[in-house]
Chains A and B, each alone.
Chain A
């Protein structure tokens, strides 16, 4: 599952909604519960463990990508 797939599934978004500048809360299905499920899917798909600060810093798609890359994974 790609990051785009996870975003689309988690937030009822379309591919057109998603670019690096997109704020997650601007996606149609965003709420803090959807965001929490998004984090779980992210950890499972990329086999990573996110810290509280990392989760809290995931305001945009670009920020999410940077954190995944910082953990040695490809996006």
Chain B
């Protein structure tokens, strides 16, 4: 039976394109047993503050690229949470869907998250529930795949595909140069890349649209119904050898 999967590091409240990828597959695997990327998107993203992009960052205890994503702990979560919710309130109080999304966010953060991997994974899974995305989630750390002899990211992903009996693998378009289609076809896995359309929506005022902000921004300005429609605004590019 055909089964489409994607494998990605968990990011905290990522941009719309990440959720499009989640929505495009049957099983989404969080790559949580790979090394943390400093200055990446795992613990950081962008929201609006004073109608300008603002990069927020969740403080971590002894963050290091030598540690796995699922090992890293959040530093002083209650203080960060309180400050972050204030920023959300300041930045989006006048957005059309503020009340509902803000209450949802406060509910989301009522969980006392200790690890960044957990918070990031939940930010993707819980938003998926909110948007009625039916995808099944798994964590790479819970899958018994050969991670020892795999030398490259592609080999690890092919090993996960094999373990999950996947027939198709979808990756974000910006990973096109990282993967060798022949390697996938040899394993009987078709490879495709997802490319988000040039999605725009009304933010504050007349200023130029600020793209690629966190899903929080999308939800604040579009609400649930419109965001569900935006999940479909992409194309799949196949790359056969």
- Binding site secondary structure of chain B: helix
- In the assembled complex, B1 has its CB within 8 A of some CB on chain A: no
CB–CB B129/A32 < 8 A: yes
The bracket for how many chain A residues form the interface is: 10 to 19
- Total residues of chain B contacting the partner, CB 8 A: 22
At the interface, is chain A mostly helix, strand, loop or mixed? helix
Residue in contact with B82 in the complex, picked from A32, A38, A53, CB distance below 8 Å: A53
Q: Do B130 and A33 have beta carbons less than 8 Å apart? A: yes
Q: Which residues of A contact B86 (CB under 8 A)?
A: 52
Q: Indicate if A59 sits at the interface (CB-CB under 8 A).
A: yes
B106 at the interface (CB under 8 A from A): yes
B50 to chain A, nearest CB (A): 19
Which chain A residues numbered 15 to 58 have a C-beta less than 8 Å away from chain B? 24-25, 31-33, 35-36, 38-40, 52-53, 55-58
B223 to chain A, nearest CB (A): 14
* Residue from A31, A32, A40 having most chain B Cβ neighbours under 10 A: A32
In chain B between 53 and 99, which residues have their CB closer than 8 angstroms to a CB of chain A? 81-82, 85-86, 88-89
Q: Is the CB of B103 within 8 A of A31?
A: no
How many angstroms from the CA of A53 to the CA of B68 in the assembled complex?
Answer: 31
Contacts known (A32-B129, A32-B130); A56 close to B104, Cβ less than 8 A? no
Q: Are A35 and B110 in contact (CB under 8 A)?
A: yes
Does B229 interact with chain A (Cβ within 8 Å)?
A: no
Min C-beta distance of B64 to chain A, whole Å = 29
Q: Are A52 and B102 in contact (CB under 8 A)?
A: yes
B112 within 8 A of A: yes
Cα–Cα distance between A52 and B130 once the two chains are bound (Å): 19
B122: chain A residues at CB < 8 Å are: 32
CB distance from A60 to the nearest CB of B (A): 9
User: Chain B's nearest CB lies how many Å from the CB of A75?
Assistant: 18
B111 on interface, CB distance cutoff 8 Å: yes
B107→A53 contact, CB < 8 A? no
Q: Which 6 A-B pairs have CB atoms at the shortest separation, nearest pair first?
A: A55-B106, A35-B107, A32-B108, A32-B126, A52-B106, A52-B85
Chain A positions near chain B (C-beta within 8 angstroms): 24-25, 31-33, 35-36, 38-40, 52-53, 55-59
Question: Can you pick out 15 interface pairs between chain A and chain B where the beta carbons lie within 8 Å of each other?
Answer: A25-B111, A33-B130, A35-B107, A35-B108, A36-B100, A36-B104, A36-B107, A38-B107, A39-B103, A39-B107, A52-B85, A52-B88, A52-B102, A55-B110, A56-B81
